[in-house]
Amino acid sequence: MTSKNENIQAFNIKDCAILNIATGARAKNLKELRDQLLTIHPESIHYHFWAKKLRPGFKEPEYNNDFATWAYSNLQDIKLAERLSLINPGMFSDTEELRKKLIEVTELSLEEDELTQNTKEGEQFQFIRSEIVLFNTQLMISKPEELTELLPSLTLGGIYYHFIDSKSMSDNTANDISSWLSLFGDEYKGLTQQISKLDPYFFTLAEFQARVSQIFKGFFKGAKL
């Protein structure tokens, strides 16, 4: 008898690294930041919210995106930094909606204080965009249960790619592991629902890896791999 899941393509595990690309766009004060946000490439916005998780030496910051960190460290504007830090990119349907929110927050601060403070020399906000370099690990899995043992040993680049970068920037769709699980019908619906409740934005990659690994371990407890 043929299994209904036999025709589902095996899942290819990948690793990745981030290649930083200077855009040449800079801002020395909040007004210039707002002006640059109007036209900056969407990949740059994505970079400044997510890429720091994969930067060498990344530690849990006081503020979880580059815009908020710059507002705090270089503009010495704690109120603005807190407002920017409250923006969760995962709550927006696409990068353009996220752009609108950033502009809204910066314009609110500009309305409250018309005198925009300039940063010191060398402390301008530099807009960076990035490209993802993918590596094929040659690891292929055909059963979701196999992820229980595999996830804890994945590189942080693998975790970043499969749970963050594999989401479409244009419409913020599900990560590719959840998309693959959905091919099995409702069999793993409970698992994908648990994964969707775990927001990678609020964790370091190592913390997120531990938590998602625990979700898989709990779901497949007692299953034969």
Render pLDDT for 3-12 as a digit per residue (tens, 0 to 9).
Answer: 556 788 999 9
Which residues contact residue 163 at a Cβ distance below 8 angstroms, ignoring those fewer than 6 apart?
175, 177, 200, 208, 212
User: What letter would DSSP give residue 45?
Assistant: H
- CA distance readout (Å), 29 to 73, 109, 119, 124: 12, 12, 6, 8
Residue 114 pLDDT grade (very low, low, confident, very high; cuts 50, 70, 90): low
Render pLDDT for 117-148 as a digit per residue (tens, 0 to 9).
Answer: 777 777 999 999 988 999 999 999 999 999 99
For the chain, list the strands marked E by DSSP.
Answer: 11-27, 125-141
Which residues contact residue 185 at a Cβ distance below 8 angstroms, ignoring those fewer than 6 apart?
none
Residue 113 pLDDT grade (very low, low, confident, very high; cuts 50, 70, 90): confident
Render pLDDT for 203-217 as a digit per residue (tens, 0 to 9).
Answer: 999 999 999 999 999
Q: Phi and psi at residue 27, in whole multiples of 5°? A: -145, 130
Q: How many CB atoms within 10 Å of residue 172?
A: 16
Render pLDDT for 163-204 as a digit per residue (tens, 0 to 9).
Answer: 998 886 555 668 999 999 999 999 999 999 999 999 999 899
Q: How high is the pLDDT of residue 2?
A: 38
Render pLDDT for 46-95 as a digit per residue (tens, 0 to 9).
Answer: 999 999 888 865 555 678 899 999 999 999 999 999 999 999 998 998 99
Q: How high is the pLDDT of residue 189?
A: 94
Give the pTM.
Answer: 0.86
